[in-house]
Structure 1
Amino acid sequence: MRNSLLIITFFTTLSIFAQEIEIKKVVKDEIDFDAIDSLYREDQFYVNITYNALQKRIDGIAQNKLSPGIAFGFLRDMPINKKRTLSVAAGLGYSLAIYNQNLGISETNGTYTYQVLDSGISFTKNKLSLHYIDLPIEFRWRNSTPESHVFWRVHSGVKLSYLFYDQYKSVSSNGTVTLSNNSDLNQFQYGFYLSFGWNTWNFYAYYGLNPIFKSSAKIENQSISMNTTNFGLMFYIL
């Protein structure tokens, strides 16, 4: 009886092992892991470093020092032609825009007052920091191929940004002022952008279509209708 069980167990194990070898052989024959992916996507993480320039400034307002910006996020690529050289992409990201300038801001009982910090006021710091959640949507052209992902590209699109935190900080001869959650700032920003270049390195430009401040923000009854233009570099990471 024991010998019979051993024989049955041996041949059962041998049968299962043979079936596993056959399955692996079929899978290997049907799937070529070295084959070129003709249905590739250019899904990418991005990092953006810019200089931020204020446009439509009221007389007397000027930028000083460097006004930097940084952004990062992810873009989902959706090809629209057979060669996959044309596509649209949508993404989600974060951006920080810093403006060093001489626009003074003060607050009393929820009411904000604005002035130009002229030569009579000495200051070592006067900056506005804006934190956004970004929703970019872009049209893409590239000369990529299934064999190589090193290529020229031109990306053009629109970006909607939601302001979720802001801070103004000034250190001057009048003292130190720190303010946040300014209700006079536009919570939504939108504009056009263009990115073009080779492989990882790309030039980037953005033009904001609406003002940073609402029309309620004024200096001597003149609205502070400044918008922004950003120039810099865009890095794409596959």
Structure 2
Amino acid sequence: MRFVILFFLIVFQSQAQVENDSISDDRYFEDQFYLGLSYNFILNHPEGANQRNLSYGLQAGVIKDIPLNNTGTNAIGIGAGLALNSYYSNLVSNISNDIITYSINNDITRSKLETHLLEFPLEFRWRNSTAEEYKFWRIYGGIKAAYVLGARSKFDLDSISEGFTNTDITKFQYGLTLNFGYNTFNLHAYYALTELFNGNASVNGEVLQYRPLRIGLIFYIL
């Protein structure tokens, strides 16, 4: 909660500063909204575990663009958004008496872990745009923090389908981001600096140390 309050204080203070500065120069704003689609890789598999099916991620949000120079080519972006990420593998989650256990099953039809997150991206931005040019190169690097609003595990085996709310997920996550491209289509990469599970999860005596790596496309909209 303190992180969220601090985030909005920074946004409001930066907005006031930019409004005052705009009187004396010609700075402009870029990329106020974003929408992204990614493939979610799972790193650090335990022995016998592997990724299956199409693990995907969706993200969308708004970013406050804060120019750092009069030409607008350098800026900071501070934002907030929502994301949904799914991870498919042969790792099966079960719950009994509020205790979650994990096993590896190669006969499973489908096993999925899905997370819903509130995200806070912070980007350091470079672009070769102008106030009149809407097709330009951009390189945006930074860090993204996220709070997990909820997580769910589900598996299908023959005619059996079971799911439950998973509490073994790390609630506060963060990682490095890099977005670059030209005009509409931009490549997006996210590398997690925190583990997906909170350290209490294990399979066959091995602690689960999954880290997501997301690669995909991101679209910025004024």
Paired position in structure 2 for 1:165: 150
Deviation at 1:123, TM superposition (A): 2.5
Deviation at 1:64, TM superposition (A): 0.9
**Counterparts of 1:158 and 1:95, CA distance in 2:** 15
Q: Are residues 1:179 and 2:164 paired?
A: yes
Q: Are residues 1:49 and 2:37 paired?
A: yes
Q: Are residues 1:218 and 2:202 paired?
A: yes
**Counterparts of 2:115 and 2:194, CA distance in 1:** 15
Pick aligned residue for 1:135 from 120, 135, 153 = 120
Amino acid at match of 1:93: G
Summarize deviations over 1:23-51 as a string: whole Å, max 9, x none: xxxxxxxxxxxxxx922111411101000
Q: Is the 8 A contact 2:189 2:214 kept in 1?
A: yes
**Counterparts of 2:27 and 2:140, CA distance in 1:** 20
Q: Are residues 1:206 and 2:194 paired?
A: no
> Which secondary structure state, in structure 2, belongs to the residue aligned with residue 41 of structure 1?
coil
Q: Give the paired residue count.
A: 198
Amino acid at match of 1:152: W
Q: Is the 8 A contact 2:90 2:110 kept in 1?
A: no
Deviation at 1:147, TM superposition (A): 2.1
Amino acid at match of 1:169: K
Deviation at 1:217, TM superposition (A): 0.4
| TM superposition score normalised by structure 1 | 0.80
Residues 97 and 66 of structure 1: CA distance in aligned 2, closer, same or farther (over 3 Å): same
**Counterparts of 1:57 and 1:221, CA distance in 2:** 13
**Counterparts of 2:149 and 2:177, CA distance in 1:** 21
Q: Is the 8 A contact 2:139 2:181 kept in 1?
A: yes
Deviation at 1:199, TM superposition (A): 1.2
| TM superposition score normalised by structure 2 | 0.86
- Using the aligned pairs only, state the percent identity: 37
Paired position in structure 1 for 2:65: 77
Q: Are residues 1:151 and 2:116 paired?
A: no
Paired position in structure 1 for 2:5: none
Paired position in structure 1 for 2:108: 123
Deviation at 1:173, TM superposition (A): 4.3
Structure 2 unaligned spans of 5+: 1-24
Paired position in structure 2 for 1:3: none
CA root-mean-square deviation: 1.4
Deviation at 1:174, TM superposition (A): 8.2
Structure 1 unaligned spans of 5+: 1-36
> Which secondary structure state, in structure 2, belongs to the residue aligned with residue 185 of structure 1?
coil
Deviation at 1:222, TM superposition (A): 1.2
Summarize deviations over 1:146-191 as a string: whole Å, max 9, x none: 22122110000100011111111111148322111x2211011100
Paired position in structure 2 for 1:191: 175
Summarize deviations over 1:114-149 as a string: whole Å, max 9, x none: 11113xxx3222111111000000100000112212
